[in-house]
Amino acid sequence: MISLGCPKNLVDAEVMLGHLPPDRFEIVTDEAEADIIIVNTCGFISDAKEESVETLLEAIECKKSGRCSLLIVTGCLSQRYPEELAVEMPEVDILLGTGEVPRILEFIEAHDRGEAVRQSVGLPQYLYDHATPRVASSPFYSAYVKIAEGCNNLCSYCIIPQLRGPLRSRSIASVKAEVQRLVASGVQEINLIAQDITAFGADRHDGAHLEGLLRELVTIPELHWLRLLYAYPDGITDGLIELVATEDKICSYFDVPLQHIDDRVLASMNRRVGEDAIRDLVARMRRRIPDLTLRTSFIVGFPGETEAEFAKLLAFVEEGYFDRVGVFRYSREEGTPAAALPGQVPERVKQSRYNKLMKAQQRVSFRRNRALVGRIEPVLVEGYSEETDLLLSGRSVRQAPDVDGQVYITAGQADIGQIVPLRITDSSEYDLIGEIVDEFPPLST
């Protein structure tokens, strides 16, 4: 199984593996040893599509030269381009859309009988739950839990609603049951994910909402870290901010994709929030959660973005509100309203703006990390550093898996998966360095 793209896609891959009986299927990590290769693709933006195509070409070569006899393509790219892939890559045996996740065994068995339908792509309606079998691929101490699927936001640049369908939220009881099972198995960190976690429950008729879900999850005794990822700004209520500020188990960490700060650009993106609302939200979050780690993302080179509008975004970043920033060069995706907008920005201009914004945020990130030196922070130990096997490494409570930096541990010993107190002794733009100490400082009153 090769899974590309976001953690939401990774959960789908784990669910597919969970539907393959272990007495009949052995999971291998080397493509050359595989009889069946499944490539779970991403088709969100141009870079992701290119990575998916390159991976597929490698898998095709492996099929030609190795023991693979069945090549299956799943995920967003096959949902988006099934006809094109079928023509351009005849070596692919089966193409499945994002809604076919639980049917993976059915298609493999049909292929074995010579009855396989080459394509199965329709409107995605599937939503896994706590009873769904799932094979974990994340480290034993951390897990992603998808609380909803699909999206109703309809941002003008985004193809996700077409790839994933409309919003579908799980029940609170289902999410809680899954988290309880994961925590009982030794998971220390639960990362709640969805296309927009703040929309959780909006499609249901049982009163479910994100705050109610969190209030249930924090009652799980063995749960240590609960992290919120992908929160749409207008869904972050004062009640949610208060909950994060007062519940020790919820990490003081928000990932809030803002995309821009200029009102005209935001309106063209079909975003529901403007500059005043964004600034008010950031101020309220910082004021109520003084130790907040705030991550966001911005798009540069959106159609019609002027030099003045980009300069406004650059100045906003330089004000220093954000600990982490992801920057994306606008990707013109066919089928989205933004693709038809006038004033498409040249690639060289997008790249220049990307470089400037990244450099500006690097300076901010460095300052914010330097301010942590001398503090004692909770750190989740993940193993030995990739740089050297002489140092342990891990992540601070301020660092989400896969997207943020690391902590390098220069003194002290701990087990993998253990959360330890660590004094920060040095830092870079993205990473922290520190030493394990005996205990956390007493809580201030």
Which residues define the annotated binding site for [4Fe-4S] cluster?
6, 42, 76, 151, 155, 158
Q: DSSP per residue over 312-335, as a string?
A: HHHHHHHT---SEEEEEE----TT
Which amino acid, 66?
A: G
Q: If we measure between CA atoms, which residue out of 65, 64, 82 comes closest to residue 73? A: 82
Instruction: Say how far apart CA 148 and CA 196 lie, in whole Å.
Output: 8
Query: Which residue's entry shows tokens 């006809």?
Result: 83
Annotated binding-site ranges: 6, 42, 76, 151, 155, 158
Cβ–Cβ < 8 Å for 377, 396: yes
Instruction: Say how far apart CA 208 and CA 328 lie, in whole Å.
Output: 33
What count of other Cβ atoms lies within 10 Å of the Cβ of residue 252? 18
Instruction: Say how far apart CA 225 and CA 98 lie, in whole Å.
Output: 29
Q: What tokens were used for 100?
A: 């076919």
Instruction: Say how far apart CA 299 and CA 216 lie, in whole Å.
Output: 35
Q: What tokens were used for 30?
A: 């080397």
